[in-house]
Amino acid sequence: MTTTPPHGRALAATDLHGVELFSGLETDQYEWLASAGVAADLADGEVLFRDGERADWFCVLISGGLVITTVVDGREEVLTRHVAGEGHGARENGDKPSAAHGFTGEMPLLIGGDYVATATAVGRSLVARYDRDAFLEMMVRCPRVTRTLIPVLAWRIHSSEVQAGQRGRLNALGTLAAGIAHELNNPAAAMARSSADLAAALPQLEERAQAWGAAASEAERAAVAAAREEILGRPPASGPRDALDAAEVEDEVSDWLDGHGLARAWRLASAVVDRGLDADWLDALARGMRSETVVPALEYLDVSLAAANLAGEAGEAGARVSALVGAVKEYTNLDRAPEQEVDLVQGLESTLAILRRKLSGVAVSRDYQPDVPVVLGYPGELNQVWTNLIDNAVDAMEGGGSPPELGVVVRLEGTCAVVEIADNGPGVPSDVLPRVFEPFFTTKDVGKGTGLGLHLSHRIVAQRHNGSIQVRSAPGDTRFIVRIPADGPGPGRVCRLPDTPGR
């Protein structure tokens, strides 16, 4: 439903004389403009149109002011302000043409879309509104209006793309920061926990080592040292795979350790069975020792293996942190030249790692052909494309009836490297498919999309990499297909398709 401001009245030609968009017109042109438009007399804070409403009007500000806002991530942001008569004929800081203060709503009206922002009156304001037919006739009847309007329209498109690019980078950084915080939390907590437990275990280890060293003969110390190395040399989880079998063996080992007087027998039993050993192995170890040294040996083994496991856990957590830092560095391409050889698989894997939190619950399948060469391009920009496509795919699968599945394919097609991002969501409606790469077009709820993510992705692929991006969609199978020259984006090296939406 479109907002219709009250206080409408007929326009007079004299109302329009001070509007820069209408300056220098003939008397009959002013009279036609007055008869074709409808006045909206707005009180302070009154809404002229809202974000997401169908664009039915081209609005010309006669007096007063308008603030243009949009909702981003639940927060209202001011995009710009229009003030009637501001800087007539000049450009203000930020290169905004003065005529841009005088009108709004032309872009969504021209493309038959929805308003992409909300316009609210600042102070008492008078606005002339023209429907689409009158707007188009205006440009024919009044060529001077068209000459003023077109440069402003071009400036607005460029500014919107710049803002969307900045917002896209900020969104990517926000996604990156959230992903890093989430991914670092688990290994960092594991490192802190293991370090604290290891610090607590060291005094006990020292005590047991001294007791064992004092009680054991040289041969016994060598035998226990060899047993310790044998346990640690075996891979973890090399014991029985069946849970019932493992529990049975662990009970037997615990009974054996209990029978030999070891307190907390469960901990050493778990370590022994996890490495594929059993009570017979302990029997063989004990047979080579005097009866009075068996318990000190087991106590030393217990504490020593526990400390080694804690150190191993801290090391594994540190390795996960290092791997995450590597993924972040690869994703952001820190300290690298802007144009370089790009490993597409590496970039996709880094993007998947960064988005792992959002991908929770999504089954990800990979099909990477081994013969795909590196491409010459801009890795940071390509990673932004992968982020947009994967993020959109996950959003499209939300609330679907099937378990979400994301497919990532990299293959070679002639001289083109091809990346496919597929999802099993409900698909893109056939009437929407031809418009998915248009600027400001979005099917997401108000505040959840700018309508520029796919448009910018298209520009990055087509203009920066001489490639192409297309979409094919059916219920349960939507695919975005990116083609990039495998031998670099030089002259004559292109990977483009006929401009047929949805091919």
Reported as half-sphere exposure (CB side, CA atoms, 13 A), residue 501 has a value of 11
Structure tokens at 101: 């203060």
Query: Residue 325's closest CA among 298, 364, 354, 293?
Result: 354
Cβ 103 vs Cβ 60: under 8 Å = yes
**Nearest-angstrom CA–CA distance, 491 and 489:** 7
Domain boundaries, the chain: 13-141, 177-325, 339-485
Alpha carbons 51 and 45: distance in angstroms, whole number? 15
In CATH, what class is 13-141?
mainly beta
Identify the pLDDT of residue 448.
Answer: 46
Burial of 499: CB neighbours in 10 Å, binned 0-12, 13-18, 19+: exposed
- CA distances in angstroms from 283 to 36, 277, 286, 289, 417, listed in the order given: 102, 11, 5, 10, 61
Question: Parallel, antiparallel, or unpaired for β 363-368 and 405-413?
Answer: parallel
pLDDT of residue 6: 46
Is 339-485 CATH 3.20.20.80? no
pLDDT truncated to tens, each residue of the chain (503 aa)?
444 444 557 889 999 998 999 999 999 999 999 999 999 999 999 999 998 899 999 999 999 999 998 876 677 778 888 888 765 544 444 567 888 888 998 888 888 888 888 999 999 999 999 999 999 999 889 989 888 888 888 887 777 666 665 565 555 555 555 656 655 666 677 777 777 887 888 888 888 888 888 888 999 999 989 989 988 888 776 666 677 777 888 889 889 988 888 888 888 888 888 888 888 999 898 888 898 988 898 888 888 888 888 887 777 777 767 666 665 665 555 445 567 889 999 889 888 887 887 888 899 999 999 989 999 888 888 988 898 899 889 988 887 768 899 999 999 988 899 999 999 988 888 888 887 877 655 655 443 444 557 878 888 898 888 899 999 988 999 999 999 998 755 555 677 664 444 44
pLDDT of residue 335: 43
pTM confidence score: 0.45
The answer to whether the beta carbons of residues 156 and 100 sit under 8 Å apart is yes
Cβ–Cβ under 8 Å, residues 211 and 299: yes
The total of other beta-carbon atoms located within 10 Å of residue 263's CB is 11
State how far Cα 140 lies from the chain centre.
45
Phi and psi, residue 121, nearest 5°: -70, 140
Q: Which two tokens stand for residue 394?
A: 């996950």
Neighbours of 339 (CB within 10 A): 14
Residue written as tokens 């169908």? 54
